[in-house]
Amino acid sequence: MTSFAHEHVAQSDPMQQGPVLPELDYELLRRYDTAGPRYTSYPTARELTDSFGEAHYRHHAELSRARSAGAPLSLYVHVPFCESPCFYCGCNRLITRDRAAGDRYIANLSREAALLAPLFDEHREVQQLHLGGGTPNFLRADQVPVLIENLGQRFLLTNSTARDFSIELDPRFLTTGFIAMLAELGFNRASLGVQDFDPQVQRAVNRIQSIEQTLEVIAECREHGFRSVNVDLLYGLPRQTVTGFRRTLRTVVEARPDRLAVYGYAHLPQLFKAQRQIEAAELPDARTRIALLKLAIEELGAAGYRYIGLDHFALPSDELTLAQARGDLQRNFMGYTTHAGSDLLGLGISAISHIGDSFSQNHRDLTKWEAALDAERLPIWRGLAAGFDDVVRADVIQQIMCRGEVDMHDIERRRAIAFADYFAPELGKLAALAADGLVTMDAERIRATSRGRLLLRLIAMCFDRYLAASSRIVASGTLQAAPFSRVI
Ligand code: SF4
């Protein structure tokens, strides 16, 4: 059997200092197989509580109105419906074939937009719009324009070519003319779920999706001028093999998607009912999981992709790669982004908003969400107002997740703290990671090494006050990775 211990798959980049790809160290990955958040926010969504409600949301919207006149807005719209359950799924979705459910949902989204929009300055342009799910293309080609028209009546959807209007697509259910319709509405980014083309794996996870239909969707997005196409893959699925996954990677890479996310499947049947359909005995063991991850890193590196962080890779020309090189890559609930400075308004069930220093989440339950709208109330389920300490730590964690380093002087200047005093216990925790070669520290910077780049979450966790207080497991780590979650 091949040994992966201390095998290095990092590659040098002649254009940039430092490695393009993270270095995979089997023993370290095993040792640090700790659960950890994905830090699309800090504090994470797990810290939201129902003591934060509609009045708090309105208060933070009011503050935002006062200080963010003219600043752009981001909208996230959750479309929860799917026709068929994928057994690995950990998303908040509703399985139905009843397209009329979409009509009713769109009408309710319109009511939610009508409640939200007056809280914000009407001149704020929506530069980032994302339809996520579930399966947004569960909606028919005549329903999506209605949704966008309704949003456009309430918010100033920009026409600018710099806009990011994106949608998650399931190639299995895409109808003729759907992508042309999206392009007509101004969509210019798409994210496609693929996971693995191996028929054995597809049968085991109840997601039969041909190579042809997937490649056609990528080609069609290109034909219609989409600026960026992302493909999601999953490793660690039942019956998955290195040989089969290599074929999948090579097939996908040949289509040159601008971005790729290679998530690790976490088997948590106690949390996600659909996963109970998966035979645990058919899951690859830890060694094979790492072999699959290693393969993905090697194949994507050989094909010219850059490692962005966590599970994300992008072509050198992609905006995420360019933003990372400039040092202004950010992270929000939609993942890595170039728009995180904007207030983010979430619409639809379970959607999360980030307004100023507050985070809030809508009801996850369709009935509760509808009932709140019937009563003309914002459908807020829970939330949190971040305090000074949260904001400082969010800043540090953002730097780790997006740049792989912390500029301590920058944090000191902007937050008026003495870094070494404020974070004395955290620096102590980092010393253990430094001893293992995951980070280096000097008077100015904490920097993830190429070995540490696959374990950015672990470095960030040292600065998470809530984890330190509770030692709770939030989501899982590299080997038993986070429940399948989407790129954006
Ligand atoms: S993985 Fe995507 S398409 Fe499959 S059930 Fe989950 S949300 Fe629906």
d(CA 134, CA 451): 35
Ligand 1 geometric centre to CA of 232 (Å): 12
Task: Identify the pLDDT of residue 17.
Answer: 40
CB atoms within 10 A of CB 143: 16
Task: Identify the pLDDT of residue 95.
Answer: 96
DSSP 239-300: T--HHHHHHHHHHHHHT--SEEEEEEP---TTT-GGGGGS-GGGS--HHHHHHHHHHHHHHH
Residue 137 pLDDT greater than 80, yes or no:
yes
Question: Token digits for 295?
Answer: 């393969």
Ligand 1 pocket: which of 79, 82, 84 to mutate (most atoms <8 Å of CB)? 82
- Collapse the DSSP code of 206 into the 3-class scheme (helix H, G, I; strand E, B; otherwise coil) and give the result: coil
pLDDT digits (tens, 9 = 90+) for 19-60: 457 888 788 887 877 778 889 899 999 999 999 999 999 999
Q: Tell me, what amino acid is at 92?
A: N
- pTM, rounded to two decimals: 0.90
Task: Identify the pLDDT of residue 2.
Answer: 31
Ligand 1 pocket, residues with Cβ under 6 angstroms:
82, 85-86, 89, 91, 93, 133-135, 170, 193
Task: Identify the pLDDT of residue 13.
Answer: 43
Ligand 1 nearest atom to the CA of residue 484, by list position: 1
Task: Identify the pLDDT of residue 20.
Answer: 59
Which whole number is the average pLDDT over 164-172? 97
Task: Identify the pLDDT of residue 3.
Answer: 33
Phi and psi at 284, nearest 5°, equal -65, 150
Task: Identify the pLDDT of residue 67.
Answer: 86
Among the ranges given (123-127, 339-343, 433-437), the one the predictor scored with the smallest mean pLDDT: 339-343
Confidence of residue 328 (pLDDT cuts 50, 70, 90): confident
> Of all residues in the chain, what percent carry a pLDDT higher than 70?
91
Task: Identify the pLDDT of residue 474.
Answer: 38
Residue 483 pLDDT greater than 60, yes or no:
no
Task: Identify the pLDDT of residue 470.
Answer: 66
For ligand 1, atom 6, the nearest C-alpha belongs to: 89
pLDDT digits (tens, 9 = 90+) for 85-96: 999 998 889 999
Ligand 1 nearest atom to the CA of residue 133, by list position: 7
CA-angle at 53, arms to 48 and 57, nearest 5°:
95
Confidence of residue 215 (pLDDT cuts 50, 70, 90): very high
> Of all residues in the chain, what percent carry a pLDDT higher than 90?
79
pLDDT digits (tens, 9 = 90+) for 242-260: 999 999 999 999 999 999 9
Task: Identify the pLDDT of residue 4.
Answer: 31
Which whole number is the average pLDDT over 110-130? 96
For ligand 1, atom 1, the nearest C-alpha belongs to: 89
Task: Identify the pLDDT of residue 479.
Answer: 33
Ligand 1 geometric centre to CA of 212 (Å): 20
Q: Round the average pLDDT of the chain to a whole number and report it.
A: 90
Task: Identify the pLDDT of residue 296.
Answer: 95
Ligand 1 pocket: which of 135, 207, 275 to mutate (most atoms <8 Å of CB)? 135
Confidence of residue 7 (pLDDT cuts 50, 70, 90): very low
pLDDT digits (tens, 9 = 90+) for 453-479: 888 999 999 999 998 776 543 333 333
